[in-house]
Structures are given as structure tokens and as C-alpha cells.
Structure 1
Amino acid sequence: MKIYHASIVPLNAAIIGSAAHGSALFVVNGDQLTVNIEMFDTPANQQHWEHFHGFPDGRPAAIATAAQDTNHDGFVDLPETEPVSGTTMVPFNDTPETMDIPNDAYPVADANGYFAYTKVVPLQQLDAEFKKAFNDSELELDKRVIYIHGVASSLQLPTTVAGEVANYDAHVTLPIAVGKITSVEVH
């Protein structure tokens, strides 16, 4: 068994009006990956996309900070995270193993901005889809970072905030929290 953890810290908190934070636990046991994510103080009553990001070439990903706001608009948007965090890789939605990222199957925060996500993922299927998507790359959780995304559609975003994915605009993809995934123990 392998266990990985991430302490998830706020990103863009001053601008969005909430300091989303929480933790993620990933347990690899045989052919199962159990994912537990618990978040507090996210924008309330809305869906939050959550994924791990990384580099297909195996370089370790780092979390984005305010320093990644390269266009100086006050927001660290999804494209600005890529130089340090890599690309979006695995979604934590209803079916992570299908690697279907743009959809409406992500957790929804309650009125207090809280949500908990638990999913048991068939590791063999996830690994096969991951290798297909990223040229035979390995999952390598300890080289990845987790992002939580999403702000209210009523939040005024400058036109410089990018991150449109499929039919979803930057309100859906704006990062609100991030954490570095680290290896905790191996049995």
C-alpha cells in the first residue's frame, strides 16, 4: 500500500473573497486508488472542478503562487499555473478513470463552502487511460499537485483572466486552492 497526502492552501483568496483550504489523501492498495478530498471555505453552493496537474515528462510539479500572475491582473488563472504545475491530468469527478475533464460531475459545495469527495478508482483502467493521454507516462502522484477550481459566475473577472475549456469559462477553471502531493508511507 502507498499513501500520499496534500495540504491544500488558498490561491486567489484576496480577490475571490474566500480562502479555500483543505486536504487530500490518496491510497493505492492493489488495483484501487482511493481518493479523499475535504475542502472548507470554497465559494458556496457551486460545483468545484478538482484535478491533479503535472508534467508528462515526469518533472516534479510545484504549486502556483501569486508570483505566477505574469500579466499582473491580480488573478493567477489556469494558463498561468502551467509553467510551474504542468497540465491538467486526472479529474476528481464521478469517474476519474475515464479522464473526462470538462463535465458537470464534480463536487458541489454546501452553503458554508464545504464539500467532501471520496472515490474508489480502478487503478488499472486509470493507468491505461493516463498512458494513452500522456504518451506512456506514469501516474507518479508524488510529482503532482492538486488544484481546486471555481468561483461564482457573478464574480467580475477582467478580460485578461483566461482558462476557457470546452464550453466552460474562466469562472469554472479559476484556481482557488492548490496543494503539493507528497508520499507519506509505503507498506
Structure 2
Amino acid sequence: MVDYIAKIKPINADKIETQTHGIATFSENGNSLHIHVEMFDTPANIEYWEHFHGFPDGKQAHVPTLMQDVNHDGFIDLPETKAVSGTTMVPFDDVPQEMNIPHDGYPVADKYGHYEYDKDVPLKDLQAKFKQAFGSEDLQLDKRVVYVHGVPADLKLPSSVAGNVMSYDAHTTLPIAAGEIKLAH
């Protein structure tokens, strides 16, 4: 069994007025990948898109800093993360192995801003879809970054905050927390 862990820390915390944090673990066990994410202090009662991001060429992905706020609006939005974190790769939704990113099958926080995601994913199916999308079936988890996205629809965002993914706006895609995935010791 191979285990990985990501300590998820806040992004955009001063703008969304919460210190979202949590932990994600990944265990490769034979034919499955077990994914467990537990988050605290998220804005309450909303759905959270969560994924790992990375570079298809295997370059190390990193958590963004304010240096990535290229338009200087005080927010690190989804497009601004690409330079250091790469692209969205695998969703932590109802069916991760389908790699269907934009939809409404993600976890929802309770009234206390807590949620837990726990899923066993068929590894061969995920690797096949990953190879189809990125040219390699090697997930290279230790080169990826976990992201949690989403803020309440009534949060005032400047028009400079980008995020339009199909019919989803920046309220859905704004990163609120991230953590680099590391090999667990």
C-alpha cells in the first residue's frame, strides 16, 4: 500500500473571511485508490468542487501565493493558479474515474462549514481515463496539488475575478484552500 497526504491550507482567506483548512489522504491499495478529504471552516451549506491539479508533463505543482495575483485585485482566481499548479486533473466527486469536472456531484458542507469525502476509486478505470486525457496513466500524486473551490453566491466578487467554466462562475471556481500532496512516511 502506498499512502499520500496533503495538508490543505487557506487561500483567499482574508477576502472570504474564513480560514478553510483540512487534510486529504490517498491510499493506493491493489486495484483501488482510496481518497479521503476532511475540511473545516468552509463557508457553510454550499457545494465544494475539489480536485487535484498538476502538469501533464510531470513537473512539480505548487500551491499559489499572492505572487500569482497577476491582476492585483487581491484574489487568486482559478486562471491565476495555472502557472504554478497546472490544470485541473481528477475531481473528488461522485465518480472520480469519469473525470467529469464541471457538474454538481461534489460534497456539500454542513451548517458548521464541515464536510467529509470518502471514496474508493477503481484504479484501472481512473488510470485509463487519465491516460486518455493526459497521455500517461501514472497519476504522480506526489507532484500534484489538492484544491478546494467555492464561495457563497452572495459574496461580492470584483469583476476581475475570473472563473467561468461552462455555466459555472467564479463563486464556484474560486480557490479557498490548497495543499501539495506528499508521500506519507
TM-score range, shorter chain: over 0.9
Counterpart code for 1:106: Y
Show the counterpart of 2:14: 14
What is the deviation of 1:54?
0.1
- How far did residue 137 of structure 1 move? 5.2
Give the percent of matched residue pairs that are identical in Structure 1 and Structure 2. Answer: 58
1:164 counterpart = 2:167: no
Corresponding residue for 2:113? 113
* Contact 1:54 1:89 (C-alpha < 8 Å) held by counterparts: yes
Offset from partner CA, 1:79-105 (integer Å, 9 cap, x none): 000000000000000000000000100
Structure 2 counterpart SS, 1:181: strand
Partner Cα separation in structure 2 for residue 40 and residue 67 of structure 1: 26
3-state DSSP class of the match of 1:82?
helix
Q: Which one-letter code corresponds to 2:86 in the other structure? A: G
- Is the partner of 1:119 in helix, strand or coil? strand
> Secondary structure of 1:62's match?
coil
The alignment covers a number of residue pairs equal to 185
- Superposition deviation, residue 46 in structure 1: 0.2
Q: Deviation string for 1:46-96 (max 9, x for gaps)?
A: 000000000000001001112211100010000000000000000000000
Amino acid of the structure 2 residue aligned with 1:76: I
- Contact conserved, 1:54 with 1:85, CA < 8 A, in 2? yes
User: 1:59 is paired with a residue of what secondary structure?
Assistant: coil
Please give the alpha-carbon distance, in whole angstroms, between the structure 2 residues aligned to 1:135 and 1:27: 23
Contact 2:128 2:137 in 1 (8 A): no
* Runs of 5+ consecutive residues of structure 1 not aligned to the other structure: none
TM-score, with normalisation over the residues of structure 1?
A: 0.97
Match of 1:29 in 2: 29
Deviations 1:19-45 (CA, angstroms, capped at 9, x unpaired): 100000000000100000000000110
Structure 2 match to 1:51: 51
Structure 2, gaps ≥5 residues long: none
Superposition misfits of 4+ residues, deviation over 4 angstroms: none
Matched residue type, 1:157: L
Q: 2:139 maps to what in 1?
A: 139
CA distance in 1, matches of 2:178, 2:97: 21
Match of 2:52, SS state, is strand
Cα deviations by residue, 1:107-154 (Å, 9 ceiling, x for unpaired): 000011000000000000000000001122520000000000000010
